[in-house]
Structure 1
């Protein structure tokens, strides 16, 4: 359980950096000259993305908060299980955030229709990467432990 918990925390550290960069990008936009040219829809999309970025950042704090609250209560397996669910939710939020930011950028540069198509296309691509790829990679041929694959003779004979 300790190893699982440490792996979850490492995954959150990686996600945190990306969310911080996106959040920083969003926070600098109002100070750009072109920000005043955003349409009403783009303004609402921007504000929704700021809310999503702040809530995603907050969601990433939950496992740490849980760990502090439950420290030395001997519930590591429940903590790991909850952390796993939270990391999955964070992944979904990050995918939405990336797609939304890309959609906003495309909307400003090429128009709202192109922005909507780009955002949706990126969201579909990210969903495929985050959801489908792990399912496809977990096929029976990859399910044997690494050590067992290495010990098998190259000729295929036992």
Structure 2
């Protein structure tokens, strides 16, 4: 039986009953932090590998033969990768600085925002890298169409499907 006293850790409110979770605010923040860090690990690994690869390109003999446009695409892509890495590593630094100060719920909010910004920057980085590679490797005539198709796929997987799922399961 639920304890009717407000703030009692074992008490379930109406929202908790609907969600099937019986957790305090601190427990919820801990769970959400754990979920977020698992998600960030996947994105961090990808952006770090891509960033490392991009950093090596400038040291190849082929780099100096790139057109000015391709070199500009490269520079922008490297900067985007650096920004994405910063945003996706940011939640770890945030957690380290606020750990033990009873700010987990606020840390989750800000870490979520950093992660979302990191995903947007990662999208831009992957777009730039794909554009550069395809411009160098293939005929320019169809590169914009290929890149547009892949970016549309990213948008579908990363944003449209999650938003559709959110809308579909919260409006019933």
TM-score, normalising length: structure 1:
0.80
2:90 matched to 1:73? Answer: no
Instruction: For residues 116-157 of structure 1, give each alpha carbon's deviation from its aligned partner in whole angstroms, at most 9, with x where no partner exists.
Output: 3333332222112111111223323x999xxxxxxxxxxxxx
Find the partner of 1:62 among 61, 86, 90: 90
Q: What is the SS of the residue equivalent to 2:142?
A: helix
Structure 1, 28-37 or 76-85: larger mean CA deviation: 28-37
Over the aligned positions, Cα root-mean-square deviation in angstroms equals 2.0
Q: CA deviation at 1:88?
A: 1.0
TM-aligned CA distance change 1:132 to 1:88, over 3 Å:
same
What is the match of residue 18 of structure 2? Answer: none
Conservation of the 8 A alpha-carbon contact between 1:107 and 1:114: no
Matched, 1:114 2:114: no
The alignment status of 1:52 with 2:80, answered yes or no, reads: yes
CA distance in 1, matches of 2:143, 2:71: 13
Give the 4+ runs in structure 1 shifted more than 4 A.
none
Distance 1:118 1:34 in 2: 23
Question: For residue 27 of structure 1, what is the aligned residue in structure 2?
Answer: 55
Report SS of the residue matched to 2:33.
helix
Check conservation: 1:99, 1:123, Cα contact below 8 A. Answer: yes
* Conserved? CA contact 2:131–2:147, under 8 Å: yes
Match of 2:158 in 1: 130
Counterpart CA distance in 2 for 1:136 and 1:80 is: 23
Q: d(CA) in 2 for partners of 1:68 and 1:12?
A: 15
Judge conservation of contact 1:67–1:79 (CA < 8 Å) in 2. yes
State how far apart, in whole Å, the 2-side matches of 1:137 and 1:118 are.
27
Match in the other structure for 1:5: 33
Provide TM-score, normalisation by structure 2: 0.74
Gaps of 5+ in 2: 1-28
